[in-house]
Amino acid sequence: MPYTTCQAHERFRKLNPTIQSVGLDTDNGRVIKAKQYANICTFIHGGFAKIPKDTTILRMFNIFRQGYSENDLEKVYDGLRRRLTRDCLILEGTSNPTGSLFITHVYIFRHESKEIVHDGLVFSTNFHHELNLNPLKLQAFLPLDLLHKMHDKEHPMAQFMHDWNLVHTILNKQIYNGNRKQIWRQCGRYLRKVNGWNVFTYPRMMIIRY
């Protein structure tokens, strides 16, 4: 089942009941199997050239781990600038098969200027399914461009993950004694206030799972 595609569609429908979703895959076999869920989404065999030009939300999960390089990423985004004809929210990231854990870049495409602006990086997990999760395990789900930077200890992403893991370890052992939700919430607050990282700690988002 195309879990994450169907899940995303259902969540977007809560914001816009009229939304239509199109799932693209270069593996025709997967497309054929996915068509049994045609009551939820339309599934098409093809790649980036098949993306509808009037797309307003583009979600690209688990694509760039399939043999792409960082140079390939630049070519893909250049192609999107030429293809998209409307402002568009772009989500590009990696998830596990069920979608209970994902990390995604958030980009805003502005059609008039052809700019693609980075708006944030979202970490999401479901505590009911990910029982022994820690920041080091999350690292494996970083988008391709950031995953490659983890070998560079001077890179901000590598430093952030180091700080996060250290804070998580301390809180887990000394303060909250295994209360996972409290640990993750306090990690976010600590990273923002003490380490100076630009982490959003809105209560509603952190209670939900982000």
Residue 203 pLDDT class (50, 70, 90 cuts): low
The 10s digit of each residue's pLDDT in 116-159 is 999 999 998 876 666 678 888 889 999 999 998 999 999 999 99
The 10s digit of each residue's pLDDT in 163-196 is 999 999 888 887 655 577 788 888 888 999 989 9
The 10s digit of each residue's pLDDT in 34-89 is 888 888 888 989 889 999 999 999 999 988 888 788 888 999 999 999 999 999 99
- Start-to-end CA distance of the chain, whole Å, equals 24
pLDDT of residue 129: 61
- Check pLDDT > 70 for residue 26: yes
Residue 79 has which token pair?
Answer: 């192609």
Of the candidates 144, 123, 106, the residue with the CA atom closest to the CA atom of residue 210 = 123
- Check pLDDT > 80 for residue 1: no
Q: Kindly report whether the global pTM for this prediction surpasses the value 0.95.
A: no
pLDDT of residue 159: 96
- Check pLDDT > 80 for residue 2: no
